[in-house]
Structure 1
Amino acid sequence: MAAPLPVTRADDSGGAPAQGGGAEARRAVTALLFLAAVALPCLVLYRAMAPGAMLLRPGAAAVPWRLTATDAPRVNADLDGDDARLERVLREAAMANDTVILTTLNSAWSEPGSVVDIFLESFRIGESTRELLDHLVIVSLDTTAHARCKRIHRHCFALVTDGVDFSGQKNFMTDGYLKMMWRRIDFLRQVLEKGYSFICTDTDIVWLRNPLPHFYPDGDFQIACDHFTGDPDDLGNNPNGGFTYVRSNTETIEFYKFWYAAREKHPGLHDQDVLNFIKRDPYVAELGIGIKFLSTELFGGLCEPSRNMSRVCTMHANCCIGLNRKINDLNAMLRDWRRFMALPPKDKHSVSWTVPQNCSLQKLEQ
């Protein structure tokens, strides 16, 4: 630092500079300049660091001293990462009326040539179904399934459940199967709360026609059946949770909360059996939710195959235990469908399903 310049002070009479206090004044000015020279860099450094300044105390980790407006979105994104990710995927996949198609997938069903490949192929060869793939979200239950989803489909969401492994084959009514089904019910409640209606479909269902025109206009909760009595309002229908259409509203959100909570009153039962218990519950009637059961003519399955290939929308490999059996009969459904579509209109009435094959009830009983 350069030496300070000498400073003189004029007396009141305007005469020569006073000599008595000159040295003392020079020392005072020197001290002030020195303090300014030290303080100015510190002030600049402080202003540069202030937005991210950290306040430390001995033995403590650094904590934010002040959270600025620009920092807040980043912190919130970290805290709500899964929620923000789900919102983004749903928004990108939604139809104009905020409806999405959802299916869940684990690694056992995600292998090449397995259930998910048959599922996606049905959309490609179905009647007015290819465009629906733009609105399908595959919800993967483990990392292997998620990696496969990203290779074969556009909209994927990883649903992670701490401490639960959903990767392997989950046979019907095993502990792993029950946890997987109830996790799905809770997830669907989240989707409804975000304002999205949905069609939830099991992956072991082939889509042959667009089902949207066949849903009831006054049904909040619409579900396929293992057995259909012929009356869509009959609570005696035997529902199958593998295919549902649900509108997002206050009634359905509360219904899914009630359904999920009811698992504790009925331990060891899956979501379909619990639904059969609660569908007549006074609280469900009090909610005023419109429940409709879907005809097996339009939404069939191996339990009760559709008899009309000219109208059927979906076919489900239900009433079937075992992955290989499902794959066999799902492939047979696609062969039947291709044969039907290849025929001229006058001959289509002659085609019928060749299923069940490996999934026949007789073989299941052996």
Structure 2
Amino acid sequence: MAGRRELPLMRGGGGGGAGGQPMSRGARILAAVVVGVTLGCVCAFLYPDGLIPRSPDSALHWPRRADSVACDTTGEVADLKSQLKSLERKNAELKKQINELSMKLQLSGQGGKEVSYKAGPFGTVKVLRTNPTVTPDESINPRLAKILEQVAVKKELIVALANSNVRESLEMWFTNIKRVGIPNYLVVALDDSIESFCKSKDVPVYRPDPDEGIDSIGKTGGNHAVSGLKFRILRQFLQLGYSVLLSDIDIIFFQNPFDHLYRDSDVESMSDGHNNMTAYGFNDVFDEPSMGWARYAHTMRIWVYNSGFFFIRPTIPSIELLDRVAGRLSSEPKSWDQAVFNEELFFPSHPGYEGLHISKRTMDIYLFMNSKVLFKTVRKDARLRKLKPVIVHLNYHPDKSDRMRAVIEFYVNGKQNALDHFPDGSE
């Protein structure tokens, strides 16, 4: 009995207030809040970064997110739109480059499968004219590769072949190149004497490795025989990834030719033509009276490219051209290299023959001038006499040394009558 009377006092004793009275429900809640606040203050003092620390990355980014919420987003939206447009333009340009590269691979015969292209509107369709360059392979001639790396400018250089038979003309050739200030040129010496001569004159020179075919022709061969060698030798230059401006040594330079090239074709060549029609092509009408009503037949004509001065890029069609010409000259010893060079460039595919798919450009005949243009036309025309050519090639005249000196007098030293005593042609 006594135990039951003490029970209420025991319940109230656990949370009694003043005077031992039981705590109300509100008082207990208030006490819990006070305890919670007190604990929170203690934790904040002891753990200023929180009980579970944030990673450095999140700590760095949190203020930025807070700032971005507070700032005006109009400028950022405009900036994002601008970036999006820029990316779209870049994407379109990349697609264009991919399509062009794919087409170049197809045109050069390197593509793995046929690719279809959609033609644009009338008048806008243009075929690609510039074939891709080959991948350089220095393993074919490491010694030549080192020389070209030192001599070439932007992977381009002038190259001439010479033996002791043309020593005098060769000296005039490189003397004028030096006078113009052309740094990227190289003489391919076909005998030891020319190699030593070039070194004594501080002229870049390359002597090919001993080869029975090259040595026998190089040491004793005449102009035509030596000229035929260049197609075999030039192949290595192209395989190494260099563009070559092939030059005979009966050529005088008055300007840097690399400033006047288009580089939009596999081959750019000077012409043997003597006016716009013969150099660039014309419609020639053949008359056969016995055919009556059909007596007139239209033909397309162009005078040949000069195989003694042409710019050739390191492409698959260019290398195929050199292989074709060199192959025919070795199997047809009586053939003229210039004739074979033009036949391979221009003859179309027909039964029993597959034509060469190569792009070509004819050089300006008044800048890259042959000696027929000079002596037959230019020297007699007051306006054309004032024009300064890039080169003059004495290809039409056998008295080369005398005419070369006269051409130098006329264009370099300003002697106006230096050319007057020469006939138009050879005597």
Which TM-score band applies after superposition, normalised by the shorter structure?
0.5 to 0.7
Q: d(CA) in 2 for partners of 1:105 and 1:356? A: 30
Q: Partners in 1 of 2:370 and 2:408 — Cα distance?
A: 13
Report the alpha carbon displacement of residue 157 of structure 1 after superposing the two structures with TM. Answer: 0.4
The answer for the alignment partner of 1:144 in structure 2 is 193
Q: Flag the 1:265–1:164 CA change in 2: closer, same or farther, 3 A.
A: closer
Match of 2:393 in 1: 316
Unaligned runs of 5+ in 1: 1-79, 171-175, 343-350
How far did residue 228 of structure 1 move?
4.6
Does residue 119 (structure 1) correspond to residue 173 (structure 2)? The answer is yes
- CA, structure 1 residues 303+161, in 2 after alignment: closer, same or farther (shift >3 Å)? farther
**Per-residue Cα deviation, 1:109-140 (whole angstroms, up to 9, x for no partner):** 22xxx112211222243xxx31x1x2111111
CA contact (8 A) 2:345 2:358 kept: no
User: For 1:275-294, what aligned pairs fall within 5 Å after superposition?
Assistant: 275-282=341-348, 287-294=356-363
Taking the aligned partners of 1:317 and 1:326, their CA distance within structure 2 comes to 6
Return the alpha-carbon distance in structure 1 between the equivalents of residues 276 and 206 of structure 2: 37
Counterpart AA for 1:292: R
- Does the CA contact (< 8 Å) of 2:268 and 2:311 recur in 1? yes
State the distance in 2 between where 1:214 and 1:183 align: 27
Q: Deviations over 1:245-280 (max 9, x none)?
A: 111112211221122223256441221111232222
Deviation at 1:330, TM superposition (A): 0.8
The one-letter code matched in structure 1 to 2:156 is T
Per the alignment, residue 249 of structure 2 pairs with 203
* 1:166 pairs with 2:231: no
* TM norm structure 1: 0.63
Structure 2: runs of 5 or more not aligned = 1-137, 282-300, 379-383
Deviation at 1:179, TM superposition (A): 3.0
The answer to whether residue 218 in structure 2 is matched with residue 218 in structure 1 is no
Alpha-carbon distance between aligned partners in 1 of 2:331 and 2:276, rounded to the nearest angstrom:
31
User: Residue 304 of structure 1: CA displacement?
Assistant: 2.2
Q: 2:402 aligns with which of 298, 322, 328?
A: 328
TM-score, with length taken from structure 2: 0.54
Q: Does 1:89 align with 2:147?
A: yes
Residues 302 and 356 in structure 1, CA contact (< 8 A), matched pair in contact too: no
**3-state SS in 2 of match to 1:336:** helix
Q: Are residue 268 (structure 1) and residue 334 (structure 2) matched?
A: yes
In 1, Cα distance between the equivalents of 2:371 and 2:348? 33
What root-mean-square deviation, in Å, do the aligned CA atoms of Structure 1 and Structure 2 show?
Answer: 2.8
Map 1:230-269 → 2, pairs under 5 A: 230=276, 234=281, 236-263=302-329, 266-269=332-335
From the superposition, tell whether residues 99 and 356 of structure 1 become closer, same or farther in structure 2 (CA, over 3 Å).
Answer: farther
Asked whether the 8 Å contact 1:93–1:135 carries over to 2, the reply is yes
Q: What is the CA–CA distance in structure 2 between the aligned matches of 1:338 and 1:285, rounded to whole Å?
A: 47
Distance 1:303 1:229, change over 3 A: closer
**SS of equivalent to 1:255:** helix
Corresponding residue pairs, total: 256
- The alignment partner of 2:141 has SS state of helix
Equivalent-residue separation in structure 2 for 1:302 and 1:147 (angstroms)? 31
- 1:138/1:356 CA distance change after superposition, 3 Å: farther
182-191 vs 213-222, which moves further: 213-222
For the 8 Å contact 1:302–1:355, the answer to whether it is kept is no
In 2: Cα distance, 1:190 partner to 1:199 partner: 14
Percentage of pairs with the same residue: 20
Instruction: Label 1:265 to 1:158 Cα distance change in 2 as closer, same or farther (>3 A).
Output: closer
| Cα distance in 2 between the residues matched to 1:150 and 1:178 | 26
Which of residues 136, 157, 163 in structure 1 aligns to 2:206?
157
Secondary structure in 2 aligned to 1:272? helix
State how far apart, in whole Å, the 1-side matches of 2:230 and 2:192 are: 17
Secondary structure in structure 2 of the residue aligned to 1:303? helix
Deviation at 1:241, TM superposition (A): 1.1
Tell me how far 1:229 sits from its aligned partner. 4.9
1:228/1:294 contact within 8 Å kept: no
Q: Distance between the aligned counterparts of 2:243 and 2:339, measured in 1?
A: 23
Shift of 1:356: 7.7
User: 2:192 & 2:319 partners in 1: Cα distance?
Assistant: 29
Q: What residue number does 1:361 align with?
A: 425
Q: Which amino acid aligns with 2:165?
A: A
Whether 2:295 is the aligned partner of 1:295: answer no
CA contact (8 A) 1:336 1:353 kept: yes
Q: Is the 8 A contact 2:344 2:356 kept in 1?
A: no
Tell me which moved more, 204-213 or 176-185.
176-185
Q: Residues 264 and 150 from structure 1, CA distance in 2 versus in 1: closer, same or farther, beyond 3 angstroms?
A: closer
Amino acid at match of 1:301: N
Q: Aligned AA for 1:319?
A: Y
Preserved CA contact (<8 Å) 1:298 1:314: yes
Cα shift at 1:190? 1.5
How far the C-alpha of 1:195 sits from its partner, in A, is: 0.6
Q: Which amino acid aligns with 1:211?
A: P
Distance 1:356-1:182 versus aligned 2 partners, 3 A rule: farther
